Structure 1
Amino acid sequence: MDKLRGMETFIAVVESGSFTQAAARLEMSAVMVGKYIALLEEQLGTRLLERNTRRQSLTDAGRVFYDEAKRVLEQVSIAESSVERLRAAPAGTLRISAPTSFGGCVIAPLTATFLQTWPEVRVELDLTNRMVDMVNEGFDLAIRIGDIRHDDLVAKYLCPYRMVICAAPAYLARHGTPQTPADLVDHLCLSHTVWTARNEWRLPGVEGEVRWKRDAILRCNDGYGLRTAAVAGAGLLLQPEVLVADELANGRLIRVLEHFTPEPRPVHLLWRQDLRPLPKLTYYIDHLLQGMRAA
C-alpha cells in the first residue's frame, strides 16, 4: 500500500466525518477508502477508528496517528514546494475554486490562455458555489464574490460582479418592456432555484420584495439553462452580466430596468498568507489581473 496515500485517506476520513464524504473529497470510491483504512490498521496492528452504523470516533491510537500523519504530509508538501521553487518558470498543479457562472464564463477562458503560455502547469478548476476550505481541501486559490471576512487569507480585488435584467426581443414584443419594478406583475420571470425568494428580485429603490402575478414560470438550478430559456423567449431573466454578455452584444437578449439592477458586488482572489507563493500561483494571479484589466 502507498503509505502516504493511506495517511491522506485516513486524514480525510477523520476530517470529513465519514467514508462517503472522504471518498468524494479524494475522488475515489467509499469501498477503496475502507480498504485503505483496513490496510493501515492491519499494518499498525491496532484499531484507528471505532465505527458503527450511526457514527465514528478516533481511538487513542487513532488520535496519535492523525496528528503525526498530518505532520508527515505537511513536511512532504513543504519538500515538494521547496524543489518547485528552484524552477524559475511556473510548473506543477494549481487547484482553483471559482463560482460556477463566473468561473465558467471568465476564469476558464483566462486559464486556457495561461496554459498556452505556461505548458508545464496543470490546473484543476473546481466550479462550485459553496465556500470551500482552502487549507483542508488543498486549494491554492479561490475566487469569491461579495464581502471578504477571512483574516487568515490574502485578498486581492479582481473586478465588479454586475447583474443584469434582460429578455429576448420576441418576449418583449409579446409582453411589452417593463419601465419600473412595479411592471413585473405583468411579466413572466425566470428564477434560479439556488437563490431564495427573499433576495432574487429585491431591487434597489424598491420597498420590500418585487412580486409578479404568479410564481416564476421556470425555475432552474443552472444559469446556462436559464440563459437558453430566456433567449428562447420564456421570460425575464436576472443573472450575472458575464453569463449573458454575448447574447446582449448580438441582440439575442435586451437589457431592461437598467436603473433598478442590484448593486455590483466585488470579486476577490484569495490565497493563503502563510504559504510562500510559488511561481505557478503568482504568475496565474498576474494573468487573471491583466486579463480583467484588458476586458
Structure 2
Amino acid sequence: MDWLTATRSFIALAEHESFTLAAEHEGVSASAMSKRIDWIEKQLGISLFTRTTRLVKLTTAGHSFLPKANAVLIQFDAMINHSDEATKVPSGTLKIAATLAVGSHILLPHIQTFLAKYSQVTIQLNVLNPGALPDLRNDLVITRQFEQFDSAAHKGTRLLDYQMHLFASPDYIEHHAEVQSIDDLAQHKMLLSNYYQKKGHIELSCGSRFLFNNYNFVSDNLDSILEAAIQGMGLIFISPSYIQKQLHEGTLVPLLPKLRSATKQLWAYYPKSTFVPLNTRLFIDHLKQQLTHSVSF
C-alpha cells in the first residue's frame, strides 16, 4: 500500500459515502477499498469514518483531514503535469465557477476565444451563488475580491478593478421625477441583486454609503434585472462592462455620472499548490490579457 493510493481512496469514499460506489469509482473491489481505508487509518492513528449498515460518514478527524488530502493530491497531479508542460498540448476539463452575471456577461466571450486557441480543452462553467466563497471543487473561481477570505488551501490573483455607476432607461427618465443629486434618489425605486438587498447599502467612491431603502425588484438573474431597468421599473447600480450592448443601443443611459461606487476588484481564486495546473494558468493569462484590452469598467 502507498500513501497516494490510499489518499485517493479516502477522498473517493468521503465523496460517495459508500464503499461500493467508491470502489467502482476507483476501479477496485469493495474489499480492496476497505483495506485501503483500514491502512490509512492505522498509519494516521485515527478513525476517518463512522460506518453503519447504510451509510459511511466522515468523523470530525476525517473532516479535518479531507482538505489536507485534497491539497496533497492537487499538488502531486500538478507536479506530474508540470513536468512535461514543454511538450504537452493543453487538454482535459477545466472547471470554472462564477456567478450568472460574471459568467454570461464577462467570461463567455473570452471562453470562446480560449477554446478556439486550445481546442482540446473542455470548460465546465458552474454557477456560483452571489456571495459564496471559493471552494476546492472548482479549478478556478472568478468572483469579486473577498477581503476577509483567508484560506491556506487557495491562492488568488487580481484580474481588474471596476466601479459601479447608476443607470436608467430613457422612458424611466421621461416619466419620473428628475434626478439632479443623490438626495433625489430617495424618490426612486432601485433594482437590486439579492446580495445588495441583504447588504442594504453600497459603498461610494466619496467614502459614504448609499442605503437601499427604496426598491421594488430583487433578483440574482442579471438578465431579468436589466430587462426590468429597460422597461422603466427602476434604477440600477451596475458596472458599465455588463451593459455595453444596452449602452450602445441607448436602452440604458447614465445618471449622475460623478456618482460611483468605491473601487472593487474581480479576482481569480484557485487551489494552492507548488505548480499551478497548465490549463488554469493558461486561462488566467488569457483572461487577464483579454480583459485588459476589451473591458471598460
- Does the TM-score normalized on the shorter chain lie above 0.5? yes
How far has the Cα of 1:87 moved from its partner? 3.5
Structure 2 residue aligned with 1:233: 232
- Aligned-partner SS, 2:196: coil
Identical aligned pairs, as a percentage? 20
Structure 1 residue aligned with 2:81: 81
Does residue 182 of structure 1 match 2:183?
yes
**Residue 21 of structure 2 is aligned with which of 36, 43, 52?**
36
Structure 1 residue aligned with 2:168: 167
Instruction: Note the 1:274-285 alignment, pairs <5 A.
Output: 274-285=273-284
Letter in structure 1 aligned against 2:166: I
Structure 1 residues 32-59: Cα deviation after superposition (integer angstroms, max 9, x where no partner) = x685269876663899534599x95549
Does residue 268 of structure 1 match 2:264?
no
Structure 1 residues 85-115: Cα deviation after superposition (integer angstroms, max 9, x where no partner) = 3643322221222233122211121011100
Structure 1 residue aligned with 2:287: 288
Structure 2 residue aligned with 1:23: none
- Aligned-partner SS, 1:283: helix
Distance 1:183 1:51 in 2: 64
How far has the Cα of 1:150 moved from its partner? 4.1
How far has the Cα of 1:245 moved from its partner? 2.1
Letter in structure 1 aligned against 2:15: A
- Aligned-partner SS, 1:179: coil
How far has the Cα of 1:125 moved from its partner? 1.9
Distance 1:211 1:59 in 2: 42
Task: Give the conservation status (yes or no) of the 8 Å contact 1:223–1:243.
Answer: no
Letter in structure 2 aligned against 1:253: L
- Aligned-partner SS, 1:221: coil
CA change 1:167–1:35 in 2 (3 A) is: farther
CA change 1:121–1:254 in 2 (3 A) is: same
Does residue 158 of structure 1 match 2:163?
no
Structure 2 residue aligned with 1:193: 194
CA change 1:41–1:75 in 2 (3 A) is: farther
Letter in structure 1 aligned against 2:133: M
Letter in structure 1 aligned against 2:50: L
- Aligned-partner SS, 1:243: helix
For structure 2, the 5+ residue unaligned runs are 1-5, 39-46
Structure 1 residue aligned with 2:42: none
Structure 2 residue aligned with 1:251: 250
How far has the Cα of 1:12 moved from its partner? 2.2
Distance 1:241 1:71 in 2: 38
Task: Give the conservation status (yes or no) of the 8 Å contact 2:207–2:262.
Answer: no
Number of equivalenced pairs: 268
For structure 1, the 5+ residue unaligned runs are 14-18, 20-32
Letter in structure 1 aligned against 2:187: D
CA change 1:82–1:282 in 2 (3 A) is: closer
Structure 1 residue aligned with 2:119: 119
Task: Give the conservation status (yes or no) of the 8 Å contact 2:197–2:212.
Answer: no
CA change 1:201–1:271 in 2 (3 A) is: closer
Structure 1 residues 152-188: Cα deviation after superposition (integer angstroms, max 9, x where no partner) = 4443321113212111100100004412221112212
Distance 1:59 1:38 in 2: 23
Distance 1:110 1:80 in 2: 28
Instruction: Note the 1:61-80 alignment, pairs <5 A.
Output: 77=77
